[in-house]
Amino acid sequence: MQVLSSAVLTVALALLTSGCTGSGPSGSASEGSATGRSTSARTAVETAAPHLGDCRALSASAVDEPDDDSPPVPCRGPHTSETFAVGTFAGRLAEVSVDDERLSSKVLGRCERGFRRYVGADASLALRTVLTWAWFRPSPETWQAGARWYRCDLIASGPDGLLELRGTTRDVLLGRPADRWLLCAVGERVSHATRVPCDQPHSWRAVTTVVLGDAATAWPGARRVEVRTRDFCSDSVGGWLGYPVDYTYGYTWLGPAEWQAGSRRSVCWARTNG
């Protein structure tokens, strides 16, 4: 048995606080189909909320922005995002500025839960898929004009940008998910490996996760998190592989920023010959 640990887990939860994106240890999305964002150039500011089920051809740069006004495209054709949840800021939140951190605090959990329901994943599988999510709020102009909506969009992250989707991804993780939706990596060490869908050649597969606490648990410190992750992954990956005499496993663990964002799971990786 060999061990290859990684640097602190850069889960997509790290992006929850920058770029408004969500779960999965695949890290940040990169590049996709370009779209325009020109709310301020319009003669009339549109404040209507987006529609559930809309698809869009978002670029990776658009995902890094807090707001988006790109037009929907037919879901049966190529697209890079699907709107799976829409909500409204009400009460005191309707009175704050558009960049108030309390808006993010309200949305993150709702998008995460909605994402899991939409694709059919539990908390563990949600960290082991190339599917993740981004959320958007109104632009400063539309917020000033009275818009108070938010939307949660599903996206898929690949090694070179956002993956192209066709049709719907609703329930694609139910049962035994196809490898195209599962998270693997290419590289000698997990920490420097390129994240890819498991239907592509790979050397690592994300196979299990370890729960390190509940919502009320205080940050236990990096060393304790790493040790607990390592010990669990040693047994867990061995079991996943059928307890061979010799095997290699890796693990990615949480830092304080991810913990603060609400994540309580580290990811275990098995060395494979995929």
pLDDT at position 72 over 80: yes
Please state, rounded to an integer, the average pLDDT across all residues of the chain.
86
- Please state, in angstroms and rounded to a whole number, the distance separating the CA atoms of residues 173 and 127: 12
- Is the pTM higher than 0.95? The answer reads no
pLDDT tens per residue across span 2-36: 555 444 444 333 333 334 555 544 332 222 233 33
Q: Which structure tokens are listed for 239? A: 């079991």
> Mean pLDDT throughout 256-264?
87
pLDDT band at 40 (very low <50, low <70, confident <90, very high): very low
pLDDT score for 46: 81
pLDDT at position 212 over 90: yes
> Mean pLDDT throughout 104-108?
91
pLDDT at position 127 over 60: yes
pLDDT tens per residue across span 200-210: 999 999 999 99
Sort strands 55-56 and 161-162 into parallel, antiparallel or unpaired: unpaired
pLDDT tens per residue across span 74-83: 999 999 999 9
pLDDT score for 258: 87
SS3 per residue for the chain: CEEEEEEECCCHHHHHHCCCECCCCCCCCCCCCCCCCCHHHCCCCCCCCCCCCCEECCCHHHHCCCECCCCCECCCCCECEEEEEEEECCHHHHHCCCCCHHHHHHHHHHHHHHHHHHHCCCCCHHHCECEEEEEEECCHHHHHCCCCEEEEEEEEEECCEECCECCCCCCCCCCCCCHHHEEEEECCCHHHCEEEECCCCCCEEEEEEEECCCCCCCCCCHHHHHHHHHHHHHHHHHHHCCCCCCCEEEEEECCHHHHHCCCCEEEEEEECCC
pLDDT band at 262 (very low <50, low <70, confident <90, very high): confident
pLDDT tens per residue across span 133-180: 999 999 999 999 999 999 999 999 999 999 999 999 999 999 999 999
pLDDT score for 10: 40
